[in-house]
């Protein structure tokens, strides 16, 4: 009974019954025209012969039905594979020639063409994904359900954590809102990031591409270029002036007979040498930096700090954390931060060094017991210093070095007591 539920089977059975009816009618007509009377009862051999002929016709028709059905099934399997974006399945023709074989050959040729197009599309998608992953501009992709499905490495700058930890999050859950225009909910992020949005379709699915442009970084780059141009001019002019002045002062010092004149020349010469050294240090702002990233552990940081600052009373709280930095640049930043903390703290103070992880971010904190931070806006401005003998280059270079290592630096006041906290944040490598 299951056979007769198939429309193709019903079609063949109907044609078979029609064929039998035509044969019986044909025999009757021929017999009538020839005057032959068909007996109601016939010999058994004749009856068996007729039944055998009918059965043979039925078997031949069933074989033809099976081959036709197999052809349609193979075409169906191939079409089903296409719907699943699998174009590697090829249908084997059930006939070696004819219209059915031609149909299978054309379908297989279409599969080859679609497979080639899919390979090209996959290659293009791979290249685009690789390009996006190495760009320094944060990019996020949301699917049609508005769930985060992809982000590049630069998106770490947005959340201070790898995007994989935020997979399937909705925009609102990560601080974005898509209406009326895509933007950050947080005011500070809105000041820093300009959000661009577009949509695209891939494999019949619609996606939202969100690109975050760091306006602050662009302004900072322009500021750096302005300082570099200014420093080049100042360095050239001051060096050209100091060289003959120093030479003249040295000659005058040798001729001075009064000890007070000799001492005065010494003071002026020292200030000239100090100014030359000052210009030399600031020329570092115009030098390209080659970053060599290596893995560093909290234990190595502790040994470095305690080895360089042996006279400091330390309170060290370290977790077993590894992070990626340039050891040379990192140590230079760390030394500058600790030196500032020592100078800001009264004698006998305890400096605290903490290292821990939060959301796959390695956070290093140096806490002092000084007067705290008074002017947050000018902390990282070149030439600005609150120290009487400061040159205003330390924190500026520290931030520059940290950002070259894909990290961030912040300086805030302590909440538990008087003092400041300098915090460095670096991504933890995903193993």
User: Domain end: 94, 121, 145, which one?
Assistant: 94
Q: Which of 220, 255, 286 is the last residue of a domain?
A: 286
C-alpha distances (whole Å) from 11 to each of 3, 95, 239, 368 are: 11, 21, 102, 92
Are the beta carbons of 162 and 427 closer than 8 angstroms? yes
246 and 324 share one domain: no
Distance CA 125, CA 85 (A): 15
pLDDT band at 42 (very low <50, low <70, confident <90, very high): low
Whether 176 and 182 have beta carbons less than 8 Å apart is answered as: yes
67 in the same domain as 29: yes
- What's residue 364's pLDDT? 92
Question: If DSSP codes are grouped into helix, strand and coil, which group holds residue 183?
Answer: strand
Residue 161 located in a structural domain: no
What is d(CA 139, CA 133) in angstroms, rounded to the nearest whole number?
Answer: 8
Residue 420 lies in a domain: yes
Residues in contact with 78: Cβ distance below 8 Å, sequence separation at least 6, in sequence order:
89, 90, 91, 107, 111
Q: What is the pLDDT of residues 386-401, one digit of tens each?
A: 554 444 456 777 888 8
Residue 197 pLDDT more than 80? yes
Residues 355 and 404 in one domain: yes
| Domain presence at residue 145 | no
d(CA 389, CA 375): 18
Which two three-digit tokens encode residue 50?
């007729």
Helix axes 327-344, 298-308, angle to 10 degrees: 50
- Residue 431: pLDDT band (50, 70, 90) is low
Residues 267 and 317 in one domain: no
- Which residue range forms the structural domain that includes residue 51? 3-94
Per-position DSSP letters for 192-251, written without gaps between them: HEEEEEEEEEETTEEEEEEEEEEHHHHHHHHHHHHHHHHHHHHHHHHHHHHHHHHHHHHH
146 band by pLDDT with thresholds 50, 70 and 90: very high
Report which of residues 5 and 321 the model is more confident about.
321
262 and 330 inside one domain:
no
Contacts of 274-283 with CB under 8 Å at 24 or more apart are 275/238, 275/242, 276/238, 276/239, 276/242, 276/246, 278/391, 279/234, 279/235, 279/238, 279/239, 281/391, 281/393, 282/231, 282/235, 282/382, 282/391, 282/393, 283/231, 283/235
Question: Do 304 and 420 belong to one domain?
Answer: yes
Residue carrying the six token digits 């340039």: 326
Confidence of residue 27 (pLDDT cuts 50, 70, 90): low
Residue 62 lies in a domain: yes
Averaged over 95-100, what is the pLDDT? 70
In-domain check, residue 170:
no
* 305 and 269 co-located in one domain: no
Could you tell me the sign of the dihedral formed by the alpha carbons of 24, 29, 35, 40, in that order?
positive
pTM above 0.75, yes or no: no
| Residues 303-348 pLDDT 10s | 888 888 888 888 888 888 888 888 888 888 888 888 888 888 888 8
**Rg (Cα) of the chain, in Å, rounded?**
42
Asked if residue 331 and residue 235 are part of one domain, the reply reads: no
Burial label, 179 (beta-carbon count in 10 A; 0-12, 13-18, 19+): exposed
Cα-based angle 407, 159, 196 (whole degrees, multiple of 5):
110
418 domain-assigned: yes
Q: Where are the alpha helices (DSSP H) in 309-358?
A: 327-344
Is residue 301 domain-shared with residue 375, that is, in the same domain?
A: yes
Q: What average pLDDT is seen over the chain? A: 78
Residue 125 covered by a domain: no
256 shares its domain with 239: yes
Q: Is residue 177 part of a domain?
A: no
In this structure, the answer to whether residues 237 and 360 fall within a common structural domain is no
The Cα 405–Cα 86 span in angstroms is 43
Contact in structure between 329 and 289 (CB atoms under 8 Å) = yes
Q: Which residue has the tokens 């349609």?
A: 72
Which of these ranges, 196-205, 227-236, 321-330, 362-371, has the smallest mean pLDDT? 227-236
CA-based torsion, 142, 194, 423, 224: positive or negative: positive
Question: What own/partner pairs with CB < 8 Å and gap ≥ 24 does 241-249 have?
Answer: 242/272, 242/275, 242/276, 245/272, 246/272, 246/273, 246/276
**Residues 304, 380: contact at Cβ < 8 Å?**
no
Residues 6+ apart with CB under 8 A from 215: 191, 192, 193, 194
Is residue 172 pLDDT above 60, yes or no? yes
Q: Total structural domains in the chain? A: 3
- The Cβ of residue 244 has, within 10 Å, a number of other Cβ atoms equal to 9
């Amino acid at each position: 009974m299951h056979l007769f539920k198939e429309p193709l089977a019903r079609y063949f059975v109907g044609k078979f019954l029609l064929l039998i009816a035509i044969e019986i009618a044909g025999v009757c007509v021929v017999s009538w025209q020839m005057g032959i009377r068909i007996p109601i009862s016939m010999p058994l051999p004749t009856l068996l012969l007729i039944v055998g002929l009918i059965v043979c016709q039925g078997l031949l028709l069933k074989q033809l039905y099976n081959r036709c059905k197999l052809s349609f099934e193979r075409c169906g399997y191939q079409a089903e594979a296409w719907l699943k974006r699998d174009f590697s399945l090829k249908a084997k023709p059930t006939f070696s020639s004819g219209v059915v074989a031609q149909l299978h050959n054309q379908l297989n040729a279409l599969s080859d063409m679609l497979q080639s197009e899919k390979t090209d599309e996959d290659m293009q998608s791979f290249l685009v994904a690789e390009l996006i992953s190495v760009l320094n501009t944060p990019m996020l992709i949301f699917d049609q359900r508005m769930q985060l499905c992809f982000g590049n490495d630069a998106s770490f700058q947005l959340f201070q954590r790898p995007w994989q930890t935020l997979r399937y999050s909705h925009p609102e859950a990560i601080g974005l809102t898509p209406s009326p225009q895509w933007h950050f909910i947080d005011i500070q992020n809105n000041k820093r990031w300009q959000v661009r949005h577009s949509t695209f379709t891939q494999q019949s699915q619609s996606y939202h591409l969100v690109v975050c442009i760091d306006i602050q970084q662009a302004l900072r780059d322009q500021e750096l270029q302005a300082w570099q141009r200014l420093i080049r001019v100042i360095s050239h002019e001051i060096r050209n002036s100091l060289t003959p002045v120093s030479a003249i002062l040295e000659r005058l010092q040798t001729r001075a007979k009064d000890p007070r004149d000799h001492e005065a020349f010494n003071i002026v010469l020292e200030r000239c040498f100090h100014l030359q050294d000052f210009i030399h240090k600031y020329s570092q702002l115009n030098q390209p930096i080659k970053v060599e990233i290596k893995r560093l552990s909290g234990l190595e940081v502790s040994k470095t700090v305690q080895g360089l600052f042996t006279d400091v009373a330390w309170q060290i709280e370290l977790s077993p954390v590894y992070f990626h930095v340039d050891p040379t640049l990192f140590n230079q930043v760390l030394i500058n931060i600790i030196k500032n903390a020592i100078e800001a703290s009264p004698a006998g103070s305890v400096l605290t060094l903490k290292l821990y992880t939060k959301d796959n971010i390695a956070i290093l904190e140096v806490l002092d017991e000084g007067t705290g931070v008074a002017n947050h806006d000018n902390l990282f401005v070149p030439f600005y210093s609150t120290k009487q003998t400061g040159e205003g280059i330390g924190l500026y270079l520290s931030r520059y070095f940290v950002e070259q290592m894909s990290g961030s630096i912040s300086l805030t006041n302590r909440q538990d007591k008087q003092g400041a906290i300098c915090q460095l944040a670096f991504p933890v490598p995903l193993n």
